[in-house]
Structure 1
Amino acid sequence: MTTEPAGERPDLILVVDDDEDIARFVEVNLRLQGFEVAHARDGQEALEMIERRRPDLAVVDLMMPRVDGLELTRRLRADPMTSALPVIMLTAKGMTSDKVHGLNAGADDYLVKPFDTAELVARVGSTLRRNKEFREVSPLTGLPGNSRVRREIAERVRHEVDFAVGYIDIDRFKSVNDRYGFVRGDDFISALAGSLHRAVISVGAPPAFLGHIGGDDFVIISTPAQVRPLTEAAVTDFERTADTLYDPDDARRGYVELPDRRGNVRRAALVTLSIGVALSVAERRLTDPVEAIEVASRMKSLAKHQPGSYVAMDRRRTER
């Protein structure tokens, strides 16, 4: 049985097959496992349906009229809006060439008719898991992304344990991209990921959670007692590492020079960190992951107004 966090819809599986009996068989068995199912009779109908509804996975027959399974898969892969949609190809033949053609077209997996119900469900489940894990990991840092962050906070909310959410980003990060370009900017983001990872390890158990929610924005979820040693270690490590990423002359001066639109040269200080922290403790619980992120984000904005690296903590929640 599939399990979905409270409030989230079941995964939508699009079954594309002109054989009504096969399509009905697949639909019934997937619905029994908790999936939502839609049916298209050929590739053309599937493309029209995908424009209206965004399925999480497509089970596609190889041989169909109008647009067959191979052509449908190729079109899905060629469209940026559907290129990541996982596809399981169904074929009535056991020939290796059919499997190869399907995989070459971009299918993630295949099943040979007649297939076992348990195998169908297992293939659908494993393909969905692989796809979600890939989508939830930042390609730059390898760290989990937004949905994993929300789930980690939701788990702590559900168990009513004390926790802290830290929202971290790099001050004057734009000056790095403007001065050196995006490739060097990515080096700074990777450096911050490494500094945060080392800081998480240094504070020991219970292990803090580290996520990358995009750009130079990171989230750490820890116990309240871990916030100070964790942030101090991260700031010290990152500032030392960041200095080595600047050109030697810029690092020695302590600033970079950037021309504005009028040709005037302005100075931008070297990067530091702003960290906002939301606390959920017995005196006042955070009850929603979105609220926790919003509080931490507001505190990070306050930290931005302070000189140097700064940690702003929402102590009002515990002092009331």
Structure 2
Amino acid sequence: MCKKSILIVDDNRLSRKILKDILEKAEYIVYEAENGEEALGIYKKNLPDMVILDIVMPKMSGFDILRILRNDQENLMVPIILLTSKDDFNEKLYGLELGADDYIIKPFNEKEFIIRVKNLFQRIDHNRMANPLTGLRGNLDIKFEIKRRIKKGEPYAVMYIDLDNFKEYNDYYGFARGDKVLTMTAGILSESINLVGNQNDFLGHIGGDDFIIVTTPDKVEDICQYIIKNFDEKIKNLYDEKDRKRGYIEAVGRRGEKNKYPFVSISIAVVTDEYRKFQNELQISEVAAELKRKLKTMKGSKFLKDQRKE
């Protein structure tokens, strides 16, 4: 899975080096900035997962940078730690009022510092997890991740994943059994990016039976094939034996007629920036919606990749 990235902002080179060494030893990706202007530029380009700000800096203080970041609603969930060399209660209170998540006084203990960073990440991640069933990131993080990929200008692919015949399964077997299908799906998707994807691929749960993966174009086919193969094998185990043997479930419709519904299958709509460039996640989702409509006309588990040019 993706390594967390941290931006250190401090005008003191030695302080930055000490922090960088500690964080890299804990396997974080580290960006450095020596002033506010450089920090905001690096932040805009890389969208780090955390920011550590020294308060006292020339021209633009840590408070100024904190205020600018928090004024943008999209940065509200980014954890920010303030560093200071003095234990001033009023200063601490002011920083917390501006939106700082933690306050660390220099010099600090290395082990305590890393524990506080890890705990802050865990708390923020827990707050961001929109789906208690799968534990996967929700819409806020999904939008943030797509925006980050667009801004970086590196090749990306967004995979919109949903289930076919899931409603009928839910109605037939009940919501508890339906939840098992969703957790199984989440597990397969997670396995797919861990085994055949990239280290920094992203997995999110939009809601219901809709999921999303953000990867690179070169990994799309391998990930899709892994998902489809494993889903089709495992979904059969979530049917009763009599339904599994006949290959479908039979339910009575609203008018009293008997209908046959095939096994739940998985559809994957893939949008990449290979052939055209997108300005935001809304444009990407619109293309994905077109692909999903086509996928609904096709039987079984399948994926469809957009290859149209601008």
Instruction: Give the TM-score taking structure 2 as reference length.
Output: 0.63
Q: Show structure 1 runs of 5+ residues with no match.
A: 12-23, 37-56, 58-115
**Cα distance per residue 1:115-170 (max 9 Å; x no partner):** x9869xx9xx9998666422322211122111111121111111101100000011
Paired residues of 1:277 and 1:295 also in contact (CA < 8 A): no
1:251 partner letter? R
Deviation readout 1:201-225 (Å, 9 max, x if unpaired) = 2214344211111111110111011
Q: Which residue of 2 aligns with 1:270?
A: 263
Q: CA deviation at 1:4?
A: 4.6
In the alignment, is the contact (CA less than 8 A) between 2:146 and 2:214 conserved in 1? yes
* Structure 2, gaps ≥5 residues long: 1-52, 54-65, 78-89, 106-112
Tell me which of 206, 210, 221 is aligned to 1:217. Answer: 210
Deviations 1:249-297 (A, max 9, x none): 111111101111232211111111111111113x422221232233223
- Report if the CA contact (8 A) 1:211-1:219 is conserved: yes
Q: Residues of 1 paired with 2:151 and 2:119: CA distance?
A: 28
Query: Alignment partner for residue 168 of structure 2, among 175, 184, 196?
Result: 175
Cα deviation, residue 182, structure 1? 0.2
Aligned partner of 1:304: which letter?
A: K
Equivalent residue, structure 1, for 2:191? 198
Q: TM-score, normalised by structure 1?
A: 0.61
Is 1:256 the equivalent of 2:252? no
- Aligned pair in 2 of structure 1 residues 182, 5: CA closer, same or farther (>3 Å)? farther
Asked if 1:305 corresponds to 2:297, the answer is yes
Cα distance in 2 for partners of 1:296, 1:204 equals 21
In structure 1, the residue matched to 2:74 is 8
Residue 145 to residue 254, structure 1, CA distance change in 2 (3 Å): same
SS in 1 for 2:264: coil
Give the C-alpha shift of residue 301 in structure 1.
2.3
- Equivalent residue number for residue 282 of structure 2: 290
List structure 1 runs of 4+ shifted beyond 6 angstroms.
24-27, 116-119, 125-129
Are 2:227 and 1:234 aligned?
Answer: yes
Q: Secondary structure at the match of 1:8?
A: helix
- Greater RCO, CA 8 A, separation 6+: 2
Work out whether residues 150 and 290 of structure 1, in 8 Å CA contact, stay in contact via their aligned partners in 2: no
Matches within 5 A, 1:30-69: 30-31=96-97, 34-35=98-99
Cross-structure match for 1:133: 125
Q: Is the 8 A contact 2:185 2:231 kept in 1?
A: yes
Distance 1:288 1:153 in 2: 8
Q: In 2, Cα distance between the equivalents of 1:128 and 1:298?
A: 40
Are residues 158 and 197 of structure 1, via their aligned partners in 2, closer, same or farther at CA, if it must alter by over 3 Å?
Answer: same
CA distance in 1, matches of 2:230, 2:118: 39
Letter in 2 for 1:299: L
When Rg is computed on C-alpha atoms for both structures, the one with the higher figure is 1
Identity of aligned residues (%): 34
Q: 1:135 to 1:300 in 2, by over 3 A?
A: farther
Q: Paired residue for 1:208?
A: 201
Does the aligned pair in 2 maintain the 1:136–1:146 contact within 8 Å? no
Query: What amino acid is aligned across from residue 247 of structure 1 in structure 2?
Result: D
Shift of 1:233: 0.7
CA contact (8 A) 1:165 1:293 kept: no
